[in-house]
């Protein structure tokens, strides 16, 4: 067949009619909190965007490090863990509530972390006036790194907020949602919320929460503003206004693991994206230990941010005594040597949690109430025993208790009898 200009034009036009043209976006994503649990919630999102042809530049403290994600550029901020590790949540549990931890400890540290991000050579190269860098959208974690919002202004791009935790009420205030100081969804109030509070209790909550919101909006966020202006100049909008005008807020929360509250229309919930379809095989020694558990086993982990050894010695003795006396095997994420050899206890500083929760012999998960752990336990249908330490853990555990799938215990009011009774109540409850 002889091609003429007309026939070639016909075939080219036909080809263009059936071929779907695609265009990848250039995306800047920033997750500043140096905590694995904050990072892992978003891993599937960055991977999916990369595989679909979008160019993603990610600021992270825990790089995915997958060479197959050729469209993902990760700027590594793992050195900021040195700032974050100064906070000992286990010790603070006995002297501070979450609002005071945020105000007295975390916010100073996050100012230091935002400074570290802005002055990083690779980040400076991105936002330099003559860099030529362009982004179609900027995603920024909203927990405490508000100064980074200004990069959306620098690149003249829409700003999307992301959170690995349910939002705090200073965020709801900016989004136009009602502020509910005593509602159990208000997790930053920890153990003071509930449905049957006294009038005096509600009044105290009202003043405590609004005082904190005023502090965040008028003091802390202005310090974040000053950091942004230090590196980007005085012409940037106020970070308060940038948060109010976010295009979308993506929040890692699901209805089943939270108390229902009014939500703004631009808040999109997601959750459980990090749960593996096929958990990795267990190490041989752990697999054998769990397979050879005629009565089943209990998995114990208080997460990545709580050091078990920071609890008072009497608390550790309670754990030792109760776990050693149970007719079940124990798998315990523990950062120290046990004081004695216990045949029924397996310890390690790191454990493949999802693979353990997926094991058919598991009877109970003793945990601190982390949101990813809650989502995993719901997915694998594992009963829960919660020991909250800080932040949203109280709300997560209270929700699970309200659903009848968990019990909880205050670690500041701990004893052998209380721990043993609570665990056995769950294990003997046929529901």
Q: State the Cα–Cα distance between residues 279 and 302, nearest whole angstrom.
A: 20
Domain range spanning residue 263?
Answer: 23-270
- pLDDT, residue 255, reads 84
Same domain, 258 and 296: no
- pLDDT, residue 214, reads 96
pLDDT tops 80 at residue 15: no
* Last residue in a domain, options 222, 242, 270: 270
- Coil/strand/helix, residue 311: coil
Helix axes 371-380, 393-402, angle to 10 degrees: 30
The vertex-58 CA angle with 57 and 63, nearest 5°, equals 130
Here the CATH number for the domain that contains residue 100 is 3.40.50
Domain-embedded: residue 2: no
Question: Comparing C-alpha atoms, which of 344, 183, 148 is closest to residue 258?
Answer: 183
154, two tokens: 């620098």
Query: Would you place residue 184 in the very low, low, confident or very high pLDDT band (cuts 50, 70, 90)?
Result: very high
Residue given tokens 């703004």 in the structure block: 264
Same domain, 240 and 362: no
DSSP 278: S
Q: How are beta strands 297-301 and 362-367 bridged, if at all?
A: parallel
Q: What does 357-373 look like in DSSP terms, one character per residue?
A: HTSTTEEEEEE---HHH
pLDDT tops 80 at residue 342: yes
pLDDT tops 70 at residue 360: yes
Q: How many domains does the chain have?
A: 2
CA distances from 164 to 101, 225, 324, 380, 402 (A): 19, 23, 35, 20, 23
Q: State the Cα–Cα distance between residues 387 and 393, nearest whole angstrom.
A: 8
- pLDDT, residue 8, reads 42
Question: Comparing C-alpha atoms, which of 79, 34, 35, 64 is closest to residue 304?
Answer: 35
132: left (phi over 0), alpha (psi -120 to 50) or beta: left
Same domain, 389 and 353: yes
- Using one digit for the tens of pLDDT, what is the confidence trace for 73-106? 999 999 999 988 888 888 888 888 889 988 888 8
Return all residues near 28 (Cβ < 8 A) that are at least 6 apart: 57, 126, 135, 137, 138, 139, 151, 155, 157
Q: Are 176 and 197 in contact (CB under 8 A)?
A: no
pLDDT tops 50 at residue 19: no
Average pLDDT value for the chain: 91
Instruction: Please tell me which of 47-61, 303-317, 332-346, 416-430 the model is most confident about, judged by mean pLDDT.
Output: 47-61
Domain-embedded: residue 405: yes
Q: What is the mean pLDDT of residues 202-218?
A: 96
Same domain, 190 and 334: no
pLDDT tops 90 at residue 297: yes
115, two tokens: 């400074």
130, two tokens: 């003559």
Cα 260 to its chain centre, rounded Å, is 19
Q: What is the pTM of this model?
A: 0.88
- pLDDT, residue 87, reads 84
Same domain, 196 and 246: yes
295, two tokens: 């009565």
54, two tokens: 């979008």
- pLDDT, residue 14, reads 57
Domain-embedded: residue 66: yes
* Last residue in a domain, options 270, 302, 335: 270
- Using one digit for the tens of pLDDT, what is the confidence trace for 106-161? 888 899 999 999 999 999 999 999 999 999 999 999 988 899 999 999 999 999 99
Same domain, 191 and 319: no
415, two tokens: 């004893």
395, two tokens: 């709300």
Here the CATH number for the domain that contains residue 389 is 3.40.50.2000
Q: State the Cα–Cα distance between residues 139 and 157, nearest whole angstrom.
A: 10
Q: State the Cα–Cα distance between residues 136 and 130, nearest whole angstrom.
A: 18
Helix (H) or strand (E) holding 206: helix 199-215
* Last residue in a domain, options 270, 304, 334: 270
Locate the DSSP E strands across 241-353. Answer: 248-252, 267-270, 297-301, 329-333, 345-348
């Amino acid at each position: 067949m002889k091609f003429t200009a007309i026939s070639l034009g016909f075939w080219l036009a036909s080809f263009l009619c059936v071929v779907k043209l695609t265009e990848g976006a250039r995306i800047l994503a920033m997750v500043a909190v140096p905590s694995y649990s904050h990072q892992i919630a978003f891993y599937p999102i960055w991977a999916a965007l990369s595989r679909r042809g979008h160019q993603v530049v990610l600021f992270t403290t825990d790089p995915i490090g997958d060479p197959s994600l050729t469209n993902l550029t990760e700027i590594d901020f793992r050195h900021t863990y040195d700032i974050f590790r100064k906070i000992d949540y286990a010790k603070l549990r006995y002297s501070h509530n979450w609002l005071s931890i945020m105000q007295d400890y975390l916010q100073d540290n996050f100012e230091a972390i935002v400074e570290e991000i802005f002055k990083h050579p690779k980040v400076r190269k991105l936002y330099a006036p003559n860099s030529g860098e362009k982004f179609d959208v900027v995603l920024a974690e909203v927990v405490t790194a508000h100064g980074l919002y200004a990069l959306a202004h620098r690149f003249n791009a829409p700003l999307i907020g992301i959170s690995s935790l349910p939002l705090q009420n200073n965020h709801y205030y900016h989004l136009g949602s009602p502020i509910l100081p005593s509602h159990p969804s208000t997790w930053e109030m920890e153990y003071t919320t509930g449905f049957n509070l006294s009038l005096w209790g509600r009044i105290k909550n009202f003043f405590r929460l609004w005082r904190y919101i005023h502090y965040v909006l008028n003091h802390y966020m202005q310090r974040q503003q000053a950091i942004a202006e230090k590196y980007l100049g005085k012409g940037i909008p106020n970070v308060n206004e940038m948060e109010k005008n976010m295009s979308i807020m993506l929040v890692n929360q699901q209805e089943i693991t939270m108390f229902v509250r009014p939500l703004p229309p631009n808040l999109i919930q997601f959750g459980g994206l990090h749960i593996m379809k096929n958990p990795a095989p267990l190490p041989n020694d752990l697999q054998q230990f769990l397979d050879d558990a005629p009565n089943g086993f209990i998995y114990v982990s208080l997460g990545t941010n709580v050091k078990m050894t920071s609890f008072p010695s009497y608390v550790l003795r309670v754990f030792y005594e109760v776990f050693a006396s149970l007719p079940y095997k124990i798998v315990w994420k523990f950062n120290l040597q046990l004081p004695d050899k216990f045949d029924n206890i397996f310890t390690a500083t790191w454990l493949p949690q999802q693979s353990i929760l997926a094991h058919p012999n598991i009877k109970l998960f003793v945990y601190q109430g982390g949101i990813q752990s809650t989502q995993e336990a719901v997915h694998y249908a594992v009963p829960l025993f919660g020991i909250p330490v800080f932040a949203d853990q109280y709300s997560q555990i209270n929700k699970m208790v309200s659903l009848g799938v968990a019990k909880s215990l205050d670690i500041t009011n701990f004893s052998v009898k209380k721990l043993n009774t609570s665990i056995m109540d769950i294990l003997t409850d046929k529901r």
